[in-house]
Structure 1
């Protein structure tokens, strides 16, 4: 009886502490995203960002992290979950919703990316100049990219030349990247990155394009041990990312708490995302090297053949934007110039 009473007392205290903890913050914000918590951005940027928001607000804002689509839906649903207020915050890949953010695609064109940091800062500058209307339904905290993307294929199908792309089924990240893969001879298969491990293990695809940083969290070193990268200052491609808040959730904050969010948003946050991506690339490459995988770096002459095909994709994209009245040539030139300006 005494033991039962004591347990009941402990439970009551625990519930009381839990209730106090839940109500300690004035504002609770739910952050939803598609990757597991140990992946580069969730671990190195989103979790520290949430802690800093809590600290800077004196505990008045609590950011609850929901990785791996824990709140339901598909990765492609995240932009609407933020827009509609299903959640307060999302981090997502822009390319999961093809055609939704057309001007952002300028950064996904072939052989644009230098480093994650430089290209992310350039993308944020591009947002400030060109994209505010494109993201008018959101309170944007940052936009960014990853570092140079490369090709990863199963053991029997290494890519040592452009000719080796013919007939390969490769997972792509976005409409533009899929068009690039098709132009280079592969069959592009669209799917979220979270579906890649199963698709590789079941031979649904022969490989995928992703940067080094995400390879450990989706077992690429184990499942696709051939890695193809390129010579020169620019990588094959990158992907555009959005870190955004529901507008009503932001507008409901007091002026004091808005300042906390604002101070932890913008160009320098984009830089942090890019830096984390670059550091993740180093770690991901080390995992592949430790596994004894094959990394192929195409020489300048071979890389030039890929760039020639990539130029066709860029010209087609410019023409498509022009038809929409979006000045494709101007957008492309600005993107290139901003990346060059921010690359050391």
Structure 2
């Protein structure tokens, strides 16, 4: 009787240990961002990551998403939230804290990305040697850039650099601010969520950003003129994970996460932004209330002259030409 009872107790204890180990192995990560669920971020980045990880791990690794600033509304504090562990994973724009990402934001310069290359490949090409130091305490899951920036205007048509003289233009970060100042405009740096009201009320005359933002932030309701083709660079994005959270995963969980992040996830992001931009520009052009200016090669040339000089001087002054070369795989 005692033997039977002891066997039962031992068997029960073993089962409990196995259940406990299984429960401990399961992990749920918190992913936070500051835009609505309908933003391109969801389809381009979050769903491929979340669905891929959860399916491949058989539910052992899960991701809960907190959109719209649920874990903190300030877009400029996104990186800090990951660093402090408020969320395990956060999404943000490098330009919002430009001083932290001076090397990474080289990819934002007009003319930095040569034809045939992608922004995400350039960022990962240079990451280990040049960019890792700009991501302390985190493990990047994706690094990518937007579609090319355009001019999104209210009651102003932009065909030449002179047309920008004295206008107040919203930009996302320091790189675009320096560029737009070279074109003769006054840069106004502000988060994307403030663009609509600023343009509607006349606080700004126009916006420098990618066409996907027209859809994501309903800018077509307040803008009426769009200029495409001027060299305005791109916007860089990151998706980062708290390093301690990453290190705390099991080997199997890390393997699954690695397989669904890095260049693979970055490609999804970049392609998603570009696809939305293409659809958006088609819709904008189809609206007879809009003026859509597709600059000719001759019209682009004066912008390009200024942009090329800006890029060369910026690289020379900062001593970072080697980083751009590394990004390009040269």
The answer, yes or no, to whether TM exceeds 0.5 is yes
For the pair 1:332 / 2:324, whether they are aligned, the reply is: yes
1:305 to 287, 302, 305: 302
Residue correspondence of structure 1 range 61-100 to structure 2 within 5 A: 61-100=61-100
Length-normalised TM-score, structure 2: 0.87
Residue 68 of structure 1 deviates from its aligned partner by 2.0
Q: Check the 8 A contact 1:117/1:274 in 2, yes or no.
A: no
Distance 2:179 2:251 in 1: 45
For the pair 1:120 / 2:117, whether they are aligned, the reply is: no
- Which residue is equivalent to 2:57? 57
Residue 24 of structure 1 deviates from its aligned partner by 11
For the pair 1:215 / 2:231, whether they are aligned, the reply is: no
For the pair 1:260 / 2:259, whether they are aligned, the reply is: no
Distance 2:115 2:284 in 1: 20
Distance 2:181 2:79 in 1: 27
Residue correspondence of structure 1 range 122-201 to structure 2 within 5 A: 122-154=122-154, 156-201=155-200
Q: Check the 8 A contact 1:116/1:146 in 2, yes or no.
A: no
Distance 1:264 1:37 in 2: 21
Which consecutive residues of structure 1, in runs of 5 or more, have no partner in the other structure? 1-22, 323-327
Summarize the Cα distance change of 1:332–1:267 in structure 2 as closer, same or farther, 3 Å threshold: same
Residue 135 of structure 1 deviates from its aligned partner by 1.7
Distance 2:223 2:258 in 1: 41
Q: Which one is further off, 83-92 or 120-129?
A: 120-129
User: If you compute each CA radius of gyration, which structure gives the higher value, 1 or 2?
Assistant: 2
Residue 31 of structure 1 deviates from its aligned partner by 0.8
Query: What are the superposed Cα offsets for residues 134-176 of structure 1, whole Å, 9 maximum, x if unpaired?
Result: 224211111100111111100x211121110001111001101
Distance 2:113 2:74 in 1: 27
2:281 to 276, 285, 291: 285
Residue 98 of structure 1 deviates from its aligned partner by 1.7
Residue 65 of structure 1 deviates from its aligned partner by 1.1
- Which residue is equivalent to 1:31? 31
- Which residue is equivalent to 2:271? 275
Summarize the Cα distance change of 1:278–1:25 in structure 2 as closer, same or farther, 3 Å threshold: farther
Q: How well do the aligned residues superpose, as a CA RMSD in angstroms?
A: 2.1
Residue 60 of structure 1 deviates from its aligned partner by 1.7
Distance 1:313 1:46 in 2: 35
Distance 1:213 1:95 in 2: 17
Q: Check the 8 A contact 1:149/1:237 in 2, yes or no.
A: yes
Distance 1:39 1:24 in 2: 34
Query: What are the superposed Cα offsets for residues 14-61 of structure 1, whole Å, 9 maximum, x if unpaired?
Result: xxxxxxxxx899212111112211111223321232122111111122
Summarize the Cα distance change of 1:179–1:83 in structure 2 as closer, same or farther, 3 Å threshold: same
Residue 244 of structure 1 deviates from its aligned partner by 0.8
Q: Check the 8 A contact 2:171/2:208 in 1, yes or no.
A: yes
Residue 129 of structure 1 deviates from its aligned partner by 4.0
Distance 1:270 1:225 in 2: 32
Q: Check the 8 A contact 1:124/1:270 in 2, yes or no.
A: no
Residue 128 of structure 1 deviates from its aligned partner by 3.8
- Which residue is equivalent to 1:321? 318
Q: Check the 8 A contact 2:48/2:265 in 1, yes or no.
A: no
- SS, match of residue 158 in structure 1: coil
Length-normalised TM-score, structure 1: 0.83
Q: Check the 8 A contact 2:71/2:86 in 1, yes or no.
A: no
Residue 110 of structure 1 deviates from its aligned partner by 1.7
